[in-house]
Chains A and B, each alone.
Chain A
């Protein structure tokens, strides 16, 4: 029944009726973006109530007016450290995602070429992606050397396959479309068609995937630092903060772990929401 209506697009185009929906759309994109921007701004610009690395004599203090989120077993103010961590974790995830985005999109476009190699690349990625990615990230960082640069490299490596797959599968669809055929017909060359016609048509869906990749990367970074890999213990990081408080969870001092956990939750939620919204407005069911 609805198909009959949708089959004729002229019957449901109503500029009047659409406006409120578009407003809601925009809101669902800008609210999470605003929260994330606010977190980053606070990490870099806001004056913190305490030094995020300086132990105070007051250890394991419960949240009160003095310490909004309490202190951990070293006497470090949880709130200050939590805000400072946003300035470490989020940029790391963004940087890793950006590298994988560039590499993945280029590889994906290359894999679009006719011939056996495109298929082979995807097969190889299948094996790679079937592997537990978190453990792969741990192995990469541990073997390449335990530092922040290698965390970024590991994040980049484990996120490349998703972009290659996406670009290839979307590209295959777009390539068959008439306007690309037309571009070829009027004599446009391969790379020109790729960058002028194929790529611009999948920007939205790539952005949605990128946001999802950041959400995933935040969790991987947190897992790494929870295990004490990658980020130096002295640097603020949500995962390490949760590790610090892990033992206290069995003895009742919940605030040490719960607040950074909620910070990760909120960040991941925002990136997921952005991805969902982008995906919705570009009209494709989310695959992962």
Chain B
């Protein structure tokens, strides 16, 4: 019953020629709100970005900027009082937001893998690891326990766990942080998804282990020609592991483009501040002062105005139009118009 819906949603491809294959993921106008007792929280406000095949895209921003709500909106994991109110997220041309819950459920895990933030809160503490693998496979039609065990063993071997049987017969709390995160990665890759979403996959791990885990994830993604959306607040990780980057602020994308463009010559004042906040030899360390704007009483105009050193009159009135360069980097700032005028 999902076939006609998919067929219906396929033809409308924004910005794509009808002859070209649709993008792997194309998010446009995504808007998510939370109806809390304190008011309507504007968590995600009209987000646009895309992920191409065999590409790693980073999403950066400070906590509360909407990056994790964005990925949860795409995956259909936003629970009440949260609600996706607008927008589309086309995955291979199919709008994920328009799918029935059961159809989207079948895509999760099978075609889109998810690597959770903290393995100890993600893994079931009172269920043996093997059972958890078996449940994922059963959810996607593989019900044989023996096959499940073989698949789980292979998946664990892929993430570099020697002696997978000991891990499979144990519980999550018996593992080290790095091992537990490897198990989570194995679960995300278990059904060989074409696309992986990683939500700050190394938070809470030892510094030495962080790099191993990221190398492992990148290896698994590149080996099989997969794509990945890597959510992080660490620009160093973006610089090292991503092809393109999306910078978010207060639930909006304020700049995106290739990692080289964005990190070497950031155009938006917020991206500039982020880049300056990364310690580098020979550069003074500059911290960003102030706080995120109130997401309930969302400001008119540019959300960054209150903290922006260059804020001027139009910033308080309308959100700026995008400026796109030849290399494809886009940013949303009124200063660009100024620069155009000065040129």
Contact = CB atoms under 8 A, between A and B. Distances in A.
Interface of A: 1-2, 4-5, 7-8, 10-14, 16-18, 21
B64 A4 contact: yes
24 contacts: A1-B72, A1-B78, A1-B79, A2-B34, A4-B64, A4-B68, A7-B63, A8-B63, A8-B64, A10-B294, A11-B294, A12-B39, A12-B41, A12-B295, A13-B296, A14-B39, A14-B294, A16-B39, A16-B296, A17-B38, A17-B40, A17-B296, A18-B37, A21-B37
B38 A18 contact: yes
B297 A1 contact: no
Contacts of A10: 291-292, 294
B2 to A, nearest CB: 26
Contacts of A8: 63-64, 291-292
B197 interface: no
B34 A5 contact: yes
Contacts of B40: 17
A11 B292 contact: yes
A4 B63 contact: yes
Contacts of B78: 1
A13 B77 contact: no
Contacts of B64: 4-5, 7-8, 11
A204 B297 CA distance: 30
B171 to A, nearest CB: 24
- Residue of B36, B38, B72 with most partner-chain A CB within 10 A: B38
B320 interface: no
| Complex A-B, nearest 4 residue pairs according to Cβ-Cβ distance, in ascending order | A17-B39, A14-B296, A8-B64, A14-B39
B38 A12 contact: yes
A5 B43 contact: yes
Interface in B289-304: 291-292, 294-297
A21 B296 CA distance: 14
B341 to A, nearest CB: 35
Give chain B's interface secondary structure class. loop
Given A1-B79, A4-B63, A5-B64, A13 B38 contact: yes
Nearest to B77: A1
Interface in B63-79: 63-64, 68-69, 72, 77-79
A25 to B, nearest CB: 9
A30 B46 CA distance: 42
B177 interface: no
B295 A16 contact: no
A282 to B, nearest CB: 15
B82 interface: yes
A280 to B, nearest CB: 10
A84 B39 CA distance: 46
Contacts of A17: 38-40, 296-297
- Residue of B41, B68, B77, B82 with most partner-chain A CB within 10 A: B41
Given A10-B291, A10-B292, A11-B292, A4 B38 contact: no
Contact of A13 (B63, B81, B82, B294): B294
Contacts of B295: 5, 11-12
A12 B64 CA distance: 10
